[in-house]
Structure 1
């Protein structure tokens, strides 16, 4: 892993513990140049972490969001390539954003840990500003799949789609 301060490492480990508790497995190994985001690879529903390639540890919650919002029957065969070719990939991307924001809230993590300046094609401040204004991106879709209800968001009814 690149140079991070103690808080980043502690927060990253907190995220891993949370995800494993939810049933989103993680593993650590070398992935080389594989992976859409440096240091992460989704492989058969598992988030593989390459600590040597890792640039933004908060990306783990967004990657987990992709796994969480797909139907349970699809999770075990989910890969990054499969995510890119899913019929509902745009909606699932927005739901992953809303899911990861809810995870930040639940874990009491600053959303900037996930929505960092180098991510989201330069739109991270738009996402955080929208959340500050309680105009949550992807919220209605998360509600539509039964993970939350609008009045109580960012609290979640459940973390994984059935």
Structure 2
């Protein structure tokens, strides 16, 4: 078993995902996944801990599941899922969702927004989120996941109403 699974950050993430209803399946994956060691399916997030390079990517992939409607979540990884999934709007909402989840879990922002991801825009995202420019907030509000009200624990963050879209 890889030591990646045993880190306190990964344990926090896996416990959080279990609590909000996102299933994690540990399995051996092929080398052709979009992100090393991660794949999405109708069952949840598939993780190959031996191939996982950036554990923070687990939260980003969870965000894709979270912002997808319940009906479409059942189609992830099948030929029935629309080819344009995830849309650019979904991607924007996913990035904010993963930022808010990382804040909720008290993880360093660069744990999720690492320099080797986000099409070389991780610094830009970190800068914007750190300054309170929550790119994607209107989408998360429209999806019924977040509110402009501030969170109970951090008076500057948007409040998450729920973590999974209906």
| TM-score clears 0.5 | yes
Give the structure 2 partner of residue 116 of structure 1.
114
Contact 2:25 2:47 in 1 (8 A): yes
Kindly report which structure 2 residues correspond to 1:32-111, keeping only aligned pairs within 5 A, or say none: 32-79=30-77, 82=81, 85-86=84-85, 89-111=87-109
Flag the 1:96–1:84 CA change in 2: closer, same or farther, 3 A: farther
Question: In structure 1, the residue corresponding to 2:25 is in which secondary structure?
Answer: strand
Deviation at 1:155, TM superposition (A): 2.6
Flag the 1:142–1:60 CA change in 2: closer, same or farther, 3 A: same
Structure with greater proportional strand content: 2
Give the structure 1 partner of residue 154 of structure 2.
none
Q: How many aligned residue pairs are there?
A: 159
TM-score normalized with structure 2 length: 0.87
Structure with greater proportional helix content: 1
CA distance in 1, matches of 2:62, 2:130: 22
Flag the 1:104–1:26 CA change in 2: closer, same or farther, 3 A: same
Q: Structure 2: where are the runs of 5+ without partners?
A: 151-156
Q: Structure 1: where are the runs of 5+ without partners?
A: none
Question: In structure 1, the residue corresponding to 2:64 is in which secondary structure?
Answer: helix
TM-score normalized with structure 1 length: 0.89
Deviations 1:42-97 (A, max 9, x none): 011410000111100000000000000011111122129847622x6100000000
